Amino acid sequence: MTRREHLHYLSAIGLAPLGTSFLNMEMVSKRKIPSSNEQLPVIGLGTWQTFDVSESETERSPLKAILKELVKGGGSVVDSSPMYGRSEKVVGDLSAELNLNDKLFIATKVWTNGIEEGIRQMNQSFSVLKRKQIDLMQIHNLVDWEMHLKTLRQWKDDKKIRYIGITHYTAGVLPAMEKIIRDHPIDFIQLNYSIVSREPENRILPLVQERKIAVLVNQPFEEGDLFQRVKGKEVPSWTYEFDCSSWAQFFLKFILSHSAITCVIPGTSKPHHLIDNLKAGYGKLPDAKIRQKMIDFMNSI
């Protein structure tokens, strides 16, 4: 199949070209949160760096459009952290301004030492996010996780938060995450997993499926490195087999083709990139044979 035939095929099945809005398209697909069976859209939004902006309308206007397109396309998950500068406040301000707060699944984090300081920081997150309840509170990079886990359990019982999670972004910490997963009841983990960082496949992803834990994936594009590797190259024509029309969809669909993954949270400051990311949650996903073909392709360039 030629590139032109590929694009014609995608248009025929409803996958519009990059940058086209989600009008008249199906919404992004959903997967269950294992601990509750609540349905969560498989593509969300990370806010590290991209939402750390001033109150300038010039800086905030594209982010308003991103939140609008996220909800329009059927997405809801927005992940932030006190570590991300002004990002929590920007999410809170814009979601309130757009009247979208009740349409978003807000995930944020505690990132400090000590129980009292953790409580203070989390209360600040409630304030700037303009939320009476936060959907998912995560212990960022496992910082003082034993202390914070006590608070999070109590807050979940009190319905201040709905789900408890832990996060990290390096493969070296996977053994520590594994031990927490085995020894403590949690609802979510967040980690780095991509077509070139597949270490979680060995032990963590099978374990979370066994323990019924949801998985958020950060850094799906390896901080942009994956796009640099394919710069100047066209998406292979055989990607029509899994309804793929861009490199972003190629990388995201690989991640989503693992059944343990609940939601991927790529960050962006460009609305048309958000739309493109959401399209990865639409249509077919690679099977085991195509997954290997994708890996082989990336290894060949």
Reported as half-sphere exposure (CB side, CA atoms, 13 A), residue 54 has a value of 3
Q: From the CA atom positions of the chain, what is the Rg in Å? A: 19
Amino acid at 293: K
CA distance 141 to 139: 6
Whole domain around residue 146: which residue ranges? 3-19+28-300
What pLDDT, on the 0 to 100 scale, is given for residue 5? 54
In the chain, the number of structural domains is 1
The token pair at 211 is 């323990």
The token pair at 206 is 């099978």
CA dist 203 to 18, 179, 208, 210, Å? 36, 11, 9, 11
What pLDDT, on the 0 to 100 scale, is given for residue 22? 43
CA distance 87 to 129: 9
What pLDDT, on the 0 to 100 scale, is given for residue 19? 45
Tens-level pLDDT at each residue, the chain (301 residues): 544 555 444 454 445 444 444 434 568 999 999 999 999 999 999 999 999 999 999 999 999 999 999 999 999 999 999 999 999 999 999 999 999 999 999 999 999 999 999 999 999 999 999 999 999 999 999 999 999 999 999 999 999 999 999 999 999 999 999 999 999 999 999 999 999 999 999 999 999 999 999 999 999 999 999 999 999 999 999 999 999 999 999 999 999 999 999 999 999 999 999 999 999 999 999 999 999 999 999 999 9
CA dist 219 to 3, 61, 191, 210, Å? 28, 24, 8, 24
The 3-state DSSP class for residue 46 equals strand
Alpha-carbon dihedral sign for residues 39, 266, 17, 272: positive
Task: Provide the β-strand partners of residue 216.
Answer: 190, 263
Asked if 75 and 41 touch (Cβ cutoff 8 Å), the reply is yes
CATH number of the domain enclosing 291: 3.20.20.100
CA dist 125 to 84, 118, 128, 218, Å? 12, 11, 5, 20
Asked if 155 and 132 touch (Cβ cutoff 8 Å), the reply is no
What pLDDT, on the 0 to 100 scale, is given for residue 27? 83
The 3-state DSSP class for residue 183 equals helix
Task: Provide the β-strand partners of residue 41.
Answer: 30
Q: If we measure between CA atoms, which residue out of 246, 239, 234, 242 comes closest to residue 275?
A: 246
What pLDDT, on the 0 to 100 scale, is given for residue 26? 64
The token pair at 255 is 């991640």
Alpha-carbon dihedral sign for residues 226, 50, 263, 237: negative
CA distance 166 to 137: 8
Instruction: Count Cβ atoms within 10 A of the Cβ of residue 23 and give its class: 0-12 exposed, 13-18 middle, 19 or more buried.
Output: exposed
What pLDDT, on the 0 to 100 scale, is given for residue 121? 98
Neighbours of 265 (CB within 10 A): 23
The 3-state DSSP class for residue 245 equals coil
